[in-house]
Structure 1
């Protein structure tokens, strides 16, 4: 038997062992983000991206709109809304769920508003996207008012009780 014939299977086995070790390291579940990190770095960033699609700005150069114009931009707006919807689902499960009935109601309201936002984006409906974005903001403010009042300066536009 030639020496190279033995080296090829040995190299293949070594490669499989290294790959298996790497997969096992990745399979170890990560610790969930602390709630302030999830909200500040994931939820807020995604909500800001979604709201940017309906932003209206006026400056010395005139009026500017964030309105999605291409199919790809509308798809991105829908993706932003669907991500918020999924985050609302995550908030109602461990380890984030709070033992307060307002938590589940507000997270459910956020999920519904995000679903409406995704549906509006799918229809390419800027008015619906804007309305749903305002509803999302109202739910965020209401939740902050109930659970992190230091984040808000004015009372929420929706009931929190």
Structure 2
């Protein structure tokens, strides 16, 4: 029994080493980005690109919309959404996954919202793209509150008078 336990432990460790080596080899020897770098430089940038498609701005020259206008714009909006969806998948795997059930739930919710965004872009549905963008933002904020609360500011109270 003792030898069987040692053999199983050795096999398990060898399997883990092979899996780690395979993951490392698939990245051409590059270490994965630390989570704050992935979120700040990859996730956030991509989310901003996606949200820009539904942005409305007003300045001295008038109102401006980021609404996709051409086939290429809609294709780019879909690509931004699919990239965000894939990043949500990445968050649920090694080395980023957190041992907290909220992590998987929030990453899954983000994946679903990003999928809805991609489907809206494919249909050229601006209202759907906007709603999905708002859902993505809500998932990002919820995750920040759960795992990185210093990233979010509590809004000031509404004045009573």
The answer to whether TM tops 0.5 is yes
- How many residues are treated as equivalent by the alignment? 131
Provide the residue aligned with 1:47 in structure 2. 47
Q: 1:144 to 1:26 in 2, by over 3 A?
A: closer
* Structure with bigger gyration radius: 1
Q: 1:26 to 1:82 in 2, by over 3 A?
A: closer
Instruction: Tell me, in whole angstroms, the C-alpha distance in 2 between the residues paired with 1:145 and 1:110.
Output: 15
Q: 5 Å matches for 1:31-110? A: 31-110=31-110
Offset of residue 88 of structure 1: 0.1
Q: How big is each residue's C-alpha offset from its partner over 1:34-61, in whole Å with a ceiling of 9 and x where there is no partner?
A: 0000000000000000000000011111
Provide the residue aligned with 1:145 in structure 2. 145
Q: Does 1:112 align with 2:109?
A: no
Offset of residue 134 of structure 1: 0.2
Q: How big is each residue's C-alpha offset from its partner over 1:85-120, in whole Å with a ceiling of 9 and x where there is no partner?
A: 000000000000000000000000000000000000
Offset of residue 138 of structure 1: 0.2
Instruction: Tell me, in whole angstroms, the C-alpha distance in 2 between the residues paired with 1:32 and 1:79.
Output: 23
Q: How big is each residue's C-alpha offset from its partner over 1:69-92, in whole Å with a ceiling of 9 and x where there is no partner?
A: 000000000000000000000000
Secondary structure of the residue aligned to 1:113 is helix
Provide the residue aligned with 2:123 in structure 1. 123
Instruction: Tell me, in whole angstroms, the C-alpha distance in 2 between the residues paired with 1:62 and 1:36.
Output: 37
TM-score by length of 1: 0.79
Q: How big is each residue's C-alpha offset from its partner over 1:19-40, in whole Å with a ceiling of 9 and x where there is no partner?
A: xxxxxx9973310000000000
Q: 1:32 to 1:60 in 2, by over 3 A?
A: same
Q: How big is each residue's C-alpha offset from its partner over 1:120-156, in whole Å with a ceiling of 9 and x where there is no partner?
A: 000000000000000000000000000000000138x
Provide the residue aligned with 1:14 in structure 2. none
Gaps of 5+ in 1: 1-24, 156-161
TM-score by length of 2: 0.79
Q: 5 Å matches for 1:6-45? A: 28-45=28-45
